[in-house]
Amino acid sequence: MSTVSIMYSGGLDSYIMYHYAKATGHNPLCISVDLGHPYAEIEWQSYCNMPDNDYKPNVIRLNFSDLYPAIANRITNQIIPSRNVLLAVIGSMFNSRVWLGVLDGEQNGKEHDKSYKYFQDTTNLLTFTNSFFQEATIVETPFSHMTKAQTIGWALQYGIPEERLFETTSCYSGTHKKCGVCLTCYKRKVAFLLNGIDEPGYDKNPLKTSYAREMDKEIPLAIAKNDYSRFTKTRCDEWTKLKNILK
């Protein structure tokens, strides 16, 4: 059984990734890195508030909380420059295999530290720089072929109760667990709906936000043009399914 570093945020994706590692024969070591981002404490408290049972992972927490304030003038939409590069470096200090929770379609984002090239180049770089300690370093995402809805579907089939999934947070707000306004709340709400679950607890309806309106405009255009450079075919199909669910 190989040990894998799970870069654990306390969010839905990393929580499912921990269980996915166990289910696929790996020994997961969860590492949470506080970079000082506004929602870091909410994420950590969500983890701490989880009941102590077999569903709760053990997590090592590292404190780099001075980083975000120090580079705040360079940050847009709370995206930390080369964040996943930093996380991969930290994870590789613990193990030769590092997992990041990047989903289907996110590889096409403007932040290139989720792209296929990022994973390939970071693997090559860390294999070189860590060669004194380990023969090879692999940086990967186990979810490159799965959307958020599909990872939730897998978790439910694996036997994780939906109540355990609800205990995680995916929100960009620094003061709310589920603000309902940010894009991550929208993606999370949609993913649960696609699994037949109307997740409670949002401060505002994520389906009524400006981001939701943008998706309702942009995705039909992508489908009409058969252009899946921004939204993958799977994500477009899920949007169509969502519209049918909401009729």
> What span, in angstroms and rounded, lies between the C-alpha atoms of 51 and 167?
9
| Global confidence as pTM | 0.94
pLDDT the model gives residue 111: 74
Look at the alpha carbons of 178, 184, 190, 192 in this order and tell me if their dihedral is positive or negative: negative
Residue scoring higher pLDDT (62 or 75): 62
What confidence tens digit (pLDDT) does each residue in 101-143 have?
Answer: 999 988 777 778 899 999 999 999 999 999 999 999 999 999 9
Cβ(98)–Cβ(4) under 8 Å? yes
> What span, in angstroms and rounded, lies between the C-alpha atoms of 98 and 23?
16
CB within 8 A of 23, min separation 6: which ones?
158
Tell which residue, 15, 77, 85, 9, has the closest CA to residue 41: 9
pLDDT the model gives residue 65: 95
Triad 53, 101, 17: Cα angle to 5°: 30
72: left (phi over 0), alpha (psi -120 to 50) or beta: alpha
pLDDT the model gives residue 67: 95
What confidence tens digit (pLDDT) does each residue in 166-220 have?
Answer: 999 989 888 888 999 998 999 999 999 999 999 999 999 999 999 999 999 999 9
